[in-house]
Amino acid sequence: MSFEESEYGEVKEKPYSRSKMKLKHIRMIKGEKLRSIVVARIRVARLKMWAVRVLIMMLVWAIALQLKALGSPKVPKHSRLSYPLLPERIYHNNGYLMVSSNGGLNQMRTGICDMVTVARFLNVTLIVPELDNTSFWNDHSQFADIFDVEYFIASLRDQVHILKELPPQQKKKASESPFSMPPISWSNMTYYYNVILPRIQTHEVVHFQKTDARLANNGLPIEVQKLRCRVNYQALRFAPPIQELAEKIVRILRGKGPFLVLHLRYEMDMIAFSGCNEGCNDQETEELTKMRYAYPWWKEKVIDSVKKRQAGLCPLTPEETALTLQALGIDPTIQVYIAAGDIYGGERRLATLRAAYPNLVKKETLLPAKDLDPYRNHSNQMAALDYYVAAESDIFVPTNGGNMAKVVEGHRRFLEFKKTILLDRKALVDLIDLYRAGAISWEEFSSEVKEAHSDRMGNPTKRLVIPGKPKEEDYFYTNPEECLPQSADHDEP
Ligand SMILES: *[C@@H]1O[C@H](CO)[C@@H](O)[C@H](O)[C@H]1NC(C)=O
Ligand SMILES: *[C@@H]1O[C@H](CO)[C@@H](O)[C@H](O)[C@H]1NC(C)=O
Ligand SMILES: *[C@@H]1O[C@H](CO)[C@@H](O)[C@H](O)[C@H]1NC(C)=O
Ligand SMILES: *[C@@H]1O[C@H](CO)[C@@H](O)[C@H](O)[C@H]1NC(C)=O
């Protein structure tokens, strides 16, 4: 089947042209003597037409069958680009997997990649993941609000069947006797084959309540790892309106020169949750503490901010960030795009950073208000915009080790090791304190900071493996070595 892009950006099937050329040709032949030949030719032509009609019907029938199996509309409707579709993978379907992805945008993103992979290797049909609408961020966006669902389904059809919803019969069954469970975290494929597959075979439909960190980082077959990457870096595109707006932001930035994306995770929730009060006044500290106690699922309540910071476990403050970028010798004229929500303390806390980097921007300052209005109440959609800009930037600097930082870091390695400065926060706070106390000069400070980061630029490295301690390892999606072209030989002499 071939697809091409129409004027309105819809991907449409090429029409089949019915040839009338033969009849036209026949009409041109004149003369009594030729009548019998003409009649014979007309018969042949009719026969050919019938043959063509039969062929067309068979084709249509074959296409319909394929689409029925795909269970989705004929063609990807709202996708802007044409794309070749690989032939659908035909396999014996072992059942249906429904999943509810939990967490913020990037946790859900990697969870989706894992679930597609699990469904593929268990030979089941995946239902388009339901997104978390109960999390802290209180965003009710569903899959199609954030990702290009048609493309997701179509581009993975050579691997796994994905349906938007259960077929009616299974839906009825699932609503009568639902089987829900969270799969065990950090499992390998053996678990999915030995424990999950039999459950799917018994119940026909299994629902996973969680998808975060359900697959191990390491020890998985290469085909499994590669499919995780393919989903993450190819199949998961943002929904066209988000994608277009994100591209617009990048266009505006590029038009003015190089840009650095600073994932300055200095937002109230993060500061309250982490208990890091560095640079906050007493009133703010009190407000943050109140917030921390207000959320029952934030387990850690009593936090020694000073100790935590010295251990390198606090997100850098805007002031610390400014010093760090300057010490690293980042050009003061570069555009610094802040990929974050509201910075706690607002402009007052951003003053130092703005003085050092006057070209400080964010999506709210680059775009007319009306462009962002549809997204403002959807934190995951706002985060999607920032994700795209961060992946595209010339330099990416995350100030904490959260999920966005990790997933974007991996994405940039995949994009041929684009520069990501992985801050060593423990070393930095030590050096910053020494510099602020006057114990070291600016030159000493700067050269120490550079030295500490010479090897932390997102260059090829081995993913840290710690058997039995998956949380302490490098996350697969932070360094998906198996999918990076240079990975095979970067350690060899
Ligand atoms: C899945 O299907 C393939 C054939 O497409 C088969 O080789 C494999 O054993 C099947 N695996 C499971 C778990 O059913
Ligand atoms: C979350 O989404 C599901 C369907 O995707 C819906 O049934 C449910 O009501 C939503 N919950 C909230 C709190 O919005
Ligand atoms: C899979 O995990 C189980 C324990 O969860 C372990 O015993 C087994 O060795 C692992 N298999 C592989 C191939 O790593
Ligand atoms: C966003 O939500 C707030 C309150 O929750 C509401 O007042 C506002 O109108 C909403 N904005 C849009 C654009 O929907």
80 confidence band (pLDDT: 50, 70, 90): low
Please name the residues in contact with 388: beta carbons below 8 A apart, sequence gap of 6 or more. 238, 242, 243, 246, 247, 249, 250
8 confidence band (pLDDT: 50, 70, 90): very low
Nearest CA to ligand 1 atom 13: 122
76 confidence band (pLDDT: 50, 70, 90): very low
Asked if the model's pLDDT at residue 27 lies above 50, the reply is: no
- Rounded to the nearest angstrom, the distance between the alpha carbon of 201 and the centre of ligand 1 is 14
What are the pLDDT digits (tens) for 40-61?
555 555 656 655 565 555 555 5
- Rounded to the nearest angstrom, the distance between the alpha carbon of 239 and the centre of ligand 4 is 21
Asked if the model's pLDDT at residue 490 lies above 80, the reply is: no
Nearest CA to ligand 2 atom 8: 133
Asked if the model's pLDDT at residue 25 lies above 60, the reply is: no
* Whether 242 contacts 146, CB under 8 Å: yes
299 confidence band (pLDDT: 50, 70, 90): confident
- Rounded to the nearest angstrom, the distance between the alpha carbon of 131 and the centre of ligand 2 is 9
Per-residue pLDDT averaged across 108-121, rounded?
98
22 confidence band (pLDDT: 50, 70, 90): very low
Nearest CA to ligand 4 atom 4: 377
Nearest CA to ligand 4 atom 6: 377
Q: Which ligand is nearest the CA of 124, by number?
A: 1
Q: Which one, of 118, 109, 133, lies nearest residue 196 by Cα? A: 118
Nearest CA to ligand 1 atom 1: 123
Q: Which one, of 77, 141, 82, 83, lies nearest residue 109 by Cα? A: 141
What are the pLDDT digits (tens) for 257-279?
999 999 999 999 999 999 999 99
- Rounded to the nearest angstrom, the distance between the alpha carbon of 377 and the centre of ligand 4 is 6
% of the chain at pLDDT higher than 90: 76
Q: Ligand 4 pocket: which residues have CB below 6 Å?
A: 373, 376-377
Asked if the model's pLDDT at residue 458 lies above 80, the reply is: yes
The pLDDT score that the predictor gives to residue 296 is: 86
The pLDDT score that the predictor gives to residue 7 is: 22
Q: Which one, of 337, 332, 372, 376, lies nearest residue 355 by Cα? A: 332
Q: Which one, of 370, 369, 394, 374, lies nearest residue 384 by Cα? A: 374
Three-class SS state of 465 = coil
What are the pLDDT digits (tens) for 123-143?
999 999 999 887 766 788 999
Please give the mean pLDDT across all residues of the chain: 86
Q: Tokens 């066209």 sit at which residue?
A: 240
